[in-house]
Every structure is written in structure tokens, then in C-alpha cells.
Amino acid sequence: MNVLQTFFIGSCLCIYSTCINVFLCTLFCSGATLKVMINVDLNSALVASSCVVVFYTLFGGLCAVAYTDVIQLFGIIIGLVSPRITILFR
């Protein structure tokens, strides 16, 4: 194996492990939030939140996930801008 092949394989493994870590952290955070909201054990909350994510993605498709991301972006922008406008005109 030459240096370029080794670099490519290492880069792919690094990207793969980063994606898995982000995915698992997201599922864990949604499960922990569900645990606190409805007072169930963590394993049940993780399974329930994972099922919701999988079914939403399967039945809604990637387009539905993209629309959800856009709606979240607008919510974040409104949340960041509105306090500044309130302070400015106070």
C-alpha cells in the first residue's frame, strides 16, 4: 500500500467514526430528553426516540428531514434575532 492509499483509508475511517459518534450522541440526547419529559427509564426512551426517527425518515423520506431542518433553522434565527430587537427598541 502506498502513502496515498493509506491516507485515503485513514480519512474514510475518520469520517465514518465521526458520523457514527454524532448520530449516537443525537439519539442519546433525544432519549434523555424523552426520559425527563415522560419519566420512563432510559432504555425505553432510547428505543422510543430511535423508532420515531427511523419511521419519520422512512415514511417521510429525506425530503421531510430537509424540510424539518429548514423549519428549525428559521426557529433558531428568530430565537437569536428577537432578543436583540427587543433590547434595541426598549
pLDDT tens readout for residues 34-66: 889 889 998 898 899 888 888 877 887 778 778
Q: How confident is the model at residue 59, as a pLDDT?
A: 81
Alpha-carbon separation of residue 42 from 35, 47, 48, 58, 86 (angstroms): 6, 9, 10, 24, 39
Query: Can you tell me the mean pLDDT for 14-31?
Result: 83
For the chain, how many structural domains are there in total?
Answer: 1
- What is the domain range of residue 34? 3-88
Q: What is the pLDDT of residues 68-83, one digit of tens each?
A: 888 988 988 998 888 8
| 40-52 burial: b if 16+ Cβ within 10 Å, else e | eeeeebbebbeee
The model's pTM is 0.54
Query: Which residue type occupies 83?
Result: P
